[in-house]
Amino acid sequence: MEEKKKKKLDFNIIKSDPTEGHGGFGVGTLSLDNVTPVIIDVDAGEASIEVGAMHARSPVEKGIKFLKTKEEVPNGKPYWLIWVTIDRKEGGAYYAGVTACEMTVDREIRRGYKSLPEHVNRMDKSIKRHIIVDHMDEKSKKVLADFLKNHNAGMWERSAEQLKKDLQAI
C-alpha cells in the first residue's frame, strides 16, 4: 500500500482582485482569500494552520458543542484561534492583520467555550489589517511569533513593527 504524503498547509497568498476593472457588484467587499486561521494549543505550546477553522470545522472544534460562558466548561483546555491576513507591498508579502480569539474545549464532555461574535469580529479586524494580540498569554505570544517567523522569515521582516512589539519579538 502506497503511503500518502501529508499535505503541507500554507498561508493563502493574494490572488488578483476579482472586481478590478469594473465598478459593479462586489466592489468594496472584503475577501477571505487572504485569511488563514492558525490554532495555538496553549498547553502543548504548538501552533498549526487549520483551514477548517474558517467554518468552525477544525479538528479542535469538530464534535464540540460550544456554550456561551467559560464557567460552563470549567475543565476546558485553552486554545487561541488566530486570524492571519496576508497582504503584499513593494517588498513582497507580509502579515498584514493578526488577531487572536480565545477558545476552550473539554473533549471528555464534548463541550467548549468560544464567543462567536468575537471570532467573527476579530476575523473582520484581521481582514481590515488590525493587530490584536496583546491580550494573549506570554507563552502563546512567543509560540505565535516563532510560528510566523519560521513559516516565512521574509514576511515576518516586512510586517508592521506593532506586530513584533505586541508579540514582544523585536
Query: What's the pLDDT score for residue 163?
Result: 96
- Statement: residue 9 has pLDDT above 80: no
Mean pLDDT of 141-170: 93
Cα angle 139, 120, 96; round to 5? 60
Determine what percent of the chain falls in helix, strand and coil, rounding each to the nearest 5: 25, 30, 45
pLDDT for the residue numbered 26: 45
- Is the pLDDT reported for residue 161 higher than 50? yes
Per the structure block, which three cell numbers stand in for 23?
465598478
Strands (E), 6-132: 35-41, 46-49, 65-67, 77-89, 92-106, 111-113, 131-132
Q: For residue 82, give the amino acid letter.
A: I
Summarised one tens digit per residue, pLDDT across range 44-96 is 999 999 999 988 889 999 999 999 999 999 999 999 999 999 999 999 999 99
Collect all residues with Cβ–Cβ distance below 8 Å to 125 and sequence separation of at least 6.
Answer: 83, 97, 99, 132
Higher pLDDT, 19 or 41: 41
Going by pLDDT thresholds of 50, 70 and 90, the confidence category of residue 27 is very low
Q: How far apart are alpha carbons 9 and 48 in whole angstroms?
A: 9
The pLDDT of residue 25 is above 70: no
First to last CA, the chain: 48
**Greater confidence, 21 or 103?**
103
Counting residues of the chain whose pLDDT is more than 70, the rounded percentage is 80
How far is 15 from 10, CA to CA, in rounded Å?
14
pLDDT at 14: 46
Q: Grid cell 488590525 — which residue?
A: 130
pLDDT band at 166 (very low <50, low <70, confident <90, very high): very high
Can you give the pTM of this predicted structure?
0.82
* pLDDT exceeds cutoff 70 at 31: no
